[in-house]
Amino acid sequence: MPAINKLLVANRGEIALRIMRTAREMGIKTVAIFSEADRNALHVRFADEAVCVGPAPSAESYLKIDTIIDVCKRLDVDAIHPGYGFLSENAGFARAVRQAGLIFIGPSPESIEIMGSKLAAKAAVSNYAIPMVPGTPSAVTDRAEAKRISAQIGYPVLIKASAGGGGKGMRVVENDDEFDEQMDRAVSEAISSFGDGSVFIEKYVTSPRHVEIQVLGDQHGNIVHLFERECSIQRRHQKVVEEAPSAMLTPEIREEMGNAAVNVARACGYYGAGTVEFIVNDALDFYFLEMNTRLQVEHPVTELITGIDLVREMIYIAEGKPLSFQQEDLSMTGHAIELRVYAEDPANNFLPDVGTLDTYIRPQGNGVRVDDGFEQGMAIPIYYDPMIAKLVTYADTREQAIQKMIRAIDEYRISGVQTTLPFGRFVMEHDAFRSGQFDTGFVSKYFSPDKLTPPPNTDEADLAAVLAAYLLENAKPAAGVTTGNTLPTTAQSRWKTNRTS
Ligand code: ADP
Tell me the CA–centroid distance for residue 205 and ligand 1, in Å.
Answer: 9
The letter for the amino acid at 226 is L
Q: Are residues 147 and 56 in the same domain?
A: no
State whether residue 376 is helix, strand or coil: coil
The domain boundary, picked from 105, 120, 148, lies at 105
Inter-CA distances, 188 with 93, 119, 392, Å: 26, 18, 37
Inter-CA distances, 70 with 53, 356, 424, Å: 10, 33, 42
Q: Which residues contact 66 (CB under 8 A, 6 or more apart)?
A: 96
Q: Are residues 176 and 93 in the same domain?
A: no
Name which residue leads in pLDDT, 31 or 453: 31
CA atoms within 13 A on the CB side of 479: 5
The closest residue, in CA terms, to atom 23 on ligand 1 is: 204
What is the per-residue DSSP string for 422-450? Answer: HHHHHHHH-HHHHHT---TTHHHHH--GG
Cβ-contact 208, 256 below 8 angstroms: no
Asked whether residue 496 is assigned to any structural domain, the reply reads no
Q: What is the pLDDT of residue 463?
A: 57
Name which residue leads in pLDDT, 29 or 460: 29
State whether residue 238 is helix, strand or coil: strand
Tell me the CA–centroid distance for residue 167 and ligand 1, in Å.
Answer: 7
Q: Are residues 283 and 378 in the same domain?
A: yes
Ligand 1 atom at shortest distance from the alpha carbon of 118? 6
The closest residue, in CA terms, to atom 14 on ligand 1 is: 210
Q: Are residues 188 and 246 in the same domain?
A: no
Name which residue leads in pLDDT, 113 or 465: 113
pLDDT tens-place string over residues 152-193: 999 999 999 988 887 788 899 999 999 999 999 999 999 999
Q: Rounded to two decimals, what is the model's pTM?
A: 0.89
Asked whether residue 320 is assigned to any structural domain, the reply reads yes
Q: What is the mean pLDDT of residues 135-142?
A: 90
pLDDT tens-place string over residues 49-76: 999 999 999 999 999 999 999 999 999 9
For residue 63, give its domain range. Answer: 6-105
Find the CATH number of the domain harbouring 378. 3.30.470.20
Tell me the CA–centroid distance for residue 164 and ligand 1, in Å.
Answer: 10
pLDDT tens-place string over residues 232-250: 999 988 999 999 999 999 9
The closest residue, in CA terms, to atom 12 on ligand 1 is: 237
Domains identified in the chain, total number: 3
Paired strand residues for 69:
none
Q: What is the mean pLDDT of residues 247-261?
A: 97
Q: Are residues 332 and 401 in the same domain?
A: yes
Q: Are residues 281 and 250 in the same domain?
A: yes
Under the banding of pLDDT at 50, 70 and 90, the label for residue 454 is confident
**How far, in Å, CA of 11 to CA of 271, rounded?**
21
> Please, where are the H alpha helices in 156-270?
179-194, 251-267
- Mutate-to-test residue for ligand 1 from 88, 136, 170, highest number of ligand atoms within 8 A of CB: 170
pLDDT tens-place string over residues 355-405: 999 999 999 999 999 999 999 999 999 999 999 999 999 999 999 999 999
Q: What is the pLDDT of residue 164?
A: 85
Q: Are residues 61 and 167 in the same domain?
A: no
Residue 484 has pLDDT above 50, yes or no: no
State whether residue 357 is helix, strand or coil: coil
Instruction: Tell me the CA end-to-end span of the chain in Å, nearest whole number.
Output: 56
**How far, in Å, CA of 202 to CA of 267, rounded?**
21
Ligand 1 atom at shortest distance from the alpha carbon of 166? 3
Asked whether residue 124 is assigned to any structural domain, the reply reads no
**How far, in Å, CA of 270 to CA of 327, rounded?**
16
Q: What angle, rounded to 10 degrees, do the helices at 109-116 and 91-99 form? A: 170
DSSP class of 178: G
Q: Are residues 168 and 238 in the same domain?
A: no
pLDDT tens-place string over residues 27-52: 999 999 999 999 999 999 999 999 99
**How far, in Å, CA of 489 to CA of 250, rounded?**
58
Q: What is the pLDDT of residue 462?
A: 58
Tell me the CA–centroid distance for residue 404 and ligand 1, in Å.
Answer: 29
- Mutate-to-test residue for ligand 1 from 289, 294, 443, 444, highest number of ligand atoms within 8 A of CB: 289
Strand segments, DSSP code E, in 218-283 are 223-235, 238-244, 272-280
Paired strand residues for 237:
none
Tell me the CA–centroid distance for residue 237 and ligand 1, in Å.
Answer: 7
Ligand 1 atom at shortest distance from the alpha carbon of 231? 14
Pocket of ligand 1 (CB under 6 A): 133, 158, 164-168, 202, 204-205, 208, 210, 234, 237, 277, 279, 289-290, 440
DSSP class of 170: E
Under the banding of pLDDT at 50, 70 and 90, the label for residue 124 is very high
The domain boundary, picked from 186, 203, 220, lies at 203
Tell me the CA–centroid distance for residue 266 and ligand 1, in Å.
Answer: 22
**How far, in Å, CA of 501 to CA of 497, rounded?**
9
Q: Are residues 371 and 441 in the same domain?
A: yes
Asked whether residue 467 is assigned to any structural domain, the reply reads no
Q: What is the pLDDT of residue 167?
A: 76
Name which residue leads in pLDDT, 500 or 148: 148
Cite the active site residues.
294
Q: Are residues 260 and 339 in the same domain?
A: yes
Residue 317 has pLDDT above 60, yes or no: yes
- Let me know if 481 is exposed, middle or buried by CB neighbors in 10 A (0-12, 13-18, 19+): exposed
Compute the radius of gyration of the chain from its Cα atoms. Answer: 24
For residue 330, the tally of other CB atoms under 10 A from its CB is 16
Asked whether residue 11 is assigned to any structural domain, the reply reads yes
**How far, in Å, CA of 476 to CA of 464, rounded?**
19
Find the CATH number of the domain harbouring 88. 3.40.50.20
**Is the bond leading into 156 cis (omega within 30 degrees of zero)?**
yes
Find the CATH number of the domain harbouring 183. 3.30.1490.20
Q: What is the pLDDT of residue 126?
A: 93
Q: Are residues 248 and 160 in the same domain?
A: no
Q: Are residues 165 and 20 in the same domain?
A: no
